[in-house]
Amino acid sequence: MVSVLVIEAAPVPYPWWLKFLGIVLFALGFAPLMQPTWYEIATTAVLGALAAALAVTADRVLRLHRFLPLTVSTAVSVVTIELFADNPAHGGPVLLMLPALFYFVPGDYLSAATAELAAGLITTGALRLVYSVFLLVQLYVGVLLGVLFTGSSPHALFDVAAHSDLPRWALFLAWIVFTAGTLLAFATPPALLLAAAPARLRHRRRAVGAHEVRRGDGQHLRRRGYADRARAAPSTPADPDPARLLHARRRLARHARPDHFGRRLCRGFQDLLKLVTIVAALAIGLVVGEALTQGHSETQAGRHHDARTGSPHRAGRRGPA
């Protein structure tokens, strides 16, 4: 608890204007994942600047910080519908506004809540989980308020993906921008850049390759490629990379939210079901692993104690009453 208080009381390593720049870069780097178009990037630059201005202001005005996701989502929704969502060829409003709102998605709280619940810290994990849901509800309600204020129909949120016009180098560069924005927006120490950049670039190469396959009639080729890779690759143990597991959960949640906003209920519920399944499987795996390790540790401790004291110990038997 003392360490947490020390971290919270520590000074921010960057000034406010670098945080502002970081949030904008964070949104710009995330935009091609929603729609790989130049219009998406230009729209995200404006909406990201609006969201960053409100986030920086909330650091100085504590009252605004309490309902910051609601304020940001309402403002972004109104500006998107009124200024940028006039042509369906540019994509639906949800796909246009989501990159600017992604900074306010409580992914860190959800991950911490899952770990705490898996470790048996029910009170803190439940509180953090409820708070995360509360933040997500604020984002959802803010988007609906924007639709109400503009007098639009909820059907206006139907997300129609625009045709891709970004070159491959722009998709690769987006992850570099995203990494720089993450470091600045979340006040990450600069020393971690050397550790974070290789993983980001490696993941981006895979994402760019998958995007190139999806651009044409690539579904059949992708399935054949996966099948050939599965037959050719030797069986290896699963890689328990926490960053990869976290990215899988965020990806499912990110695809589920636009589907719900766009009234594609069946597909959205399928993605949410996958999200809940993965989180539950991770929690159960942590609990089972901890239980097995704890039982083995207690057995070893009992044997060492009996060896030191010289008392006989036989598992499964009791001495005379």
Q: What is the pLDDT of residue 289?
A: 66
Q: Is the pLDDT of residue 33 over 80?
A: yes
**Residue 40 in contact with residue 99, Cβ under 8 Å?**
yes
Rounded Cα–Cα distance for residues 111 and 242 (Å): 10
The answer to whether position 126 is within a domain reads: yes
The answer to whether position 263 is within a domain reads: no
Rounded Cα–Cα distance for residues 81 and 46 (Å): 13
What range defines the domain where residue 97 resides?
Answer: 12-214
Give per-residue pLDDT as tens, 180-190. Answer: 898 899 888 76
The answer to whether position 189 is within a domain reads: yes
The answer to whether position 219 is within a domain reads: no
3-state secondary structure 240-261: CCHHHHHHHHHHHHHHHHHHHH
Q: How confident is the model at residue 296 (pLDDT cuts 50, 70, 90)?
A: low
What's the CA dihedral at 34, 35, 37, 42 to 10 degrees? -40
The answer to whether position 21 is within a domain reads: yes
Domains identified in the chain, total number = 1
Rounded Cα–Cα distance for residues 41 and 96 (Å): 9
Q: How confident is the model at residue 101 (pLDDT cuts 50, 70, 90)?
A: very high
Q: Is the pLDDT of residue 199 over 80?
A: no
Element (H, E) at 288: helix 265-309
Q: Which residue pairs from 200-205 have beta carbons closer than 8 angstroms and sit at least 24 positions apart in sequence? A: 200/175, 200/176, 201/175, 201/176, 203/175, 203/247, 204/171, 204/172, 204/174, 204/175, 204/176, 205/172
The answer to whether position 152 is within a domain reads: yes
Which residues have CB under 8 Å from 46's CB, separation 6+?
79, 83, 84
Greater confidence, 34 or 258? Answer: 34
**Residue 100 in contact with residue 50, Cβ under 8 Å?**
yes
Q: To the nearest whole percent, how much of the chain has pLDDT over 90? A: 20
The answer to whether position 113 is within a domain reads: yes
Read off the tokens for 61: 């005005």
Give per-residue pLDDT as tens, 244-266. Answer: 444 444 454 444 444 444 444 45
Read off the tokens for 89: 């060829």
Read off the tokens for 88: 């369906």
The answer to whether position 37 is within a domain reads: yes
Q: How confident is the model at residue 225 (pLDDT cuts 50, 70, 90)?
A: very low
Instruction: Calculate the average pLDDT of the chain.
Output: 72
Q: Is the pLDDT of residue 5 over 70?
A: no
